[in-house]
Amino acid sequence: MAADLYGDIEPSPASTWRGLLPGLAVVAAGTLSAGFISDHYGAPLTLMALLIGLALNFLSADARLHDGLTFASRSLLRWGIVLVGVRVTFGQIMALGPVALIAVVAIVALVIGSGVLAARRFGFDSAFGVLAGGAVAICGASAALALATTLGEKRASQAQLTIVLVGISAMSAAAMVTYPILAHAMMLTDLKAGFMLGASIHDVAQTLGAGYAYSPGAGDIAAIVKLTRVALLAPALAVVALYFPKEGSKTKGPGIPWFVVGFFVVAGIHSLGVIPPIVATGAEKLATAALAAAVTATAIRSPMRQLLEAGPKPLLVIGVATLAALVLSGSVAVLVIG
């Protein structure tokens, strides 16, 4: 129940460390294996963690692992989201300039909206559209995990989250290869290409890979635009938390989840420049490890039967949002930027 933020499906496991260790050991082994493959062969870490977790899915039947898997897929995820704040500063966002900043915000909102519309068209509810569209619009797998946590298991099931992670990983890898070719075909300047790549590609690593494959200048612009999208994760989560209140609650909304507040706080502190570089680097690596472990645990716990029964429709929702992001970012790059 990785996405069960409010505990409305099951309470967080009240277990001792001894009870958590078996599940955490499996998650650690899977995550370390994914890291080894990623480091040595250049494969995306999230994708490797996802695939290894799915390969270990049969272990979810062992009750001894449940507490550790739940802890990894929930608590590690939340702390990973908090630590993602060290990746951005408010100064980087403002350096884009008002026109580009407004364009990025508009693209993110419209892409999420396209996900919602596509989800309804293919027979899903709005929550799945927010999950798929938000993952495309903001920062790929990290956003998918954070949004699923905020939506809750009743709105975004474990199977839906896993499908989004699979689709995002595949489409982000494809975008890294094909979008620079498209930008060359459009004969874009470094500024325009960097904006298009930074505003459209799903995951951070693939965005940087595509940007610097185009040119060093385009890579720098793509990094700033992409980090701006990452920074929009916190306000997006806040809006989602208010729009989708805890089920059964008599109040209009549940308030802002603590990990969203933590994200803002960490980003704000980082913006002040008081965090030593070595600490910031360590926190970023810890965030990457925590999120990778959460992906591994989520994949292990995913109900495979529901995944197989889902068919291609969930991937079509992700595809529509991906196309919307490309068209919008390309249009802004050509007509507005530079």
Enumerate the domain spans of the chain: 17-335
pLDDT on residue 15: 62
CA dist 166 and 147 (Å) reads 16
Check residues 114 and 310 and name the one with the higher pLDDT.
114
Average of per-residue pLDDT values in the chain: 81
pLDDT attached to residue 92: 62
Write the DSSP string, 108-121.
HHHHHHHHHHHHHH
Q: Are 69 and 27 in contact (CB under 8 A)?
A: yes
Cα 144 → chain centroid: 4
Which of 270, 284, 229 lies closest to 96, judged by CA? 229
pTM over 0.75: no
| Calpha distance 24→11 (Å, rounded) | 18
Q: What is the mean pLDDT of residues 50-78?
A: 84
Judging by beta carbons within 10 Å of its beta carbon (0-12, 13-18, 19+), is residue 154 exposed, middle or buried?
A: middle
CA distance 263 to 99: 25
Q: Are 165 and 298 in contact (CB under 8 A)?
A: yes
Segment 50-77 shows an average pLDDT of: 84
In the DSSP assignment, the letter for residue 138 is T
**Per-residue pLDDT, 137:** 93
Average pLDDT rounded to a whole number, residues 10-31: 78
**Dist CA 274 CA 116 (whole Å):** 40
Q: Could you tell me which residue, 113 or 241, shows the higher pLDDT?
A: 113
Beta-carbon contacts of residue 68 (< 8 Å; ≥ 6 apart): 19, 20, 21, 22, 23, 24, 25, 26, 27
From the number of C-beta atoms within 10 Å of its C-beta (0-12, 13-18, 19+), residue 11 rates as exposed
75-91 CB burial, b ≥16 within 10 A, e <16: ebbbbbbbbbbbbbbee
Which candidate, 205, 197, 210, 228, places its Cα nearest to that of 104? 228
pLDDT exceeds 50 at position 248: no
